[in-house]
Amino acid sequence: MEKYIPKISEAELEIMKVLWEKSPQTANEVIENLESKMDWKPKTIRTLINRLVQKEAVSYHQRNGRMYEYYPLVSQDSFIQVETKSLLKRFYGASLKPLLVNFLKEEKLSSEDIRELKRILDEKNEENLRKDIKND
């Protein structure tokens, strides 16, 4: 069963990105990391961290008896998977084909990207062929 992934706001997502990049980190380290990217006050960042702790997206442990170090409980891959499914459902009725077609028409892809996509599609095709043979 898939672990519950809490709803994470756009602002909270910025905190998660910092923690996914490197963990654990103290609140001060997260603040330093975001200072150059966001126009947020330290109190705002601390509030966002606390919200993520309450949502059980982030946890912490104490270092030196006083300092808290924060780390994500939700993996980036799990979050992306849930968000992608949500996007598909909202915009494409859970059908992947229209999303992919739209993306491929609009996106500039390198030769390496195209090779990777072909490889993934070939693997999916092989999986389907094996399933079809097994079900016959």
Sign of the Cα torsion 16, 18, 19, 25 reads negative
Query: Is 107 in a helix, a strand, or coil?
Result: coil
pLDDT digits (tens, 9 = 90+) for 41-64: 999 999 999 999 999 999 999 877
Residues with Cβ within 8 Å of residue 57, at least 6 apart in sequence: 5, 6, 8, 12, 16, 72, 73, 74
Report domain extents, the chain. 10-72, 95-136
Confidence of residue 2 (pLDDT cuts 50, 70, 90): very low
Q: Per CATH, is 10-72 categorized as 3.40.50.1220?
A: no
Residues 92, 81: contact at Cβ < 8 Å? no
Tokens of 42: 């330290």
- State pLDDT tens for residues 72-131: 999 999 999 888 888 778 877 767 787 788 888 888 889 999 899 899 999 988 988 888
Provide the sign of the torsion angle of the four alpha carbons 53, 4, 78, 11, taken in this order.
Answer: negative
Residue type, 67: M
3-class SS string, 4-20: CCCCCCHHHHHHHHHHH
C-alpha 100, offset from chain centre: 19
pTM of the predicted model, to two decimals? 0.72
Tell me how far the alpha carbon of residue 65 is from its chain's centroid: 31
Query: Of 12, 68, 28, 46, which Cα lies nearest the Cα of 20?
Result: 12
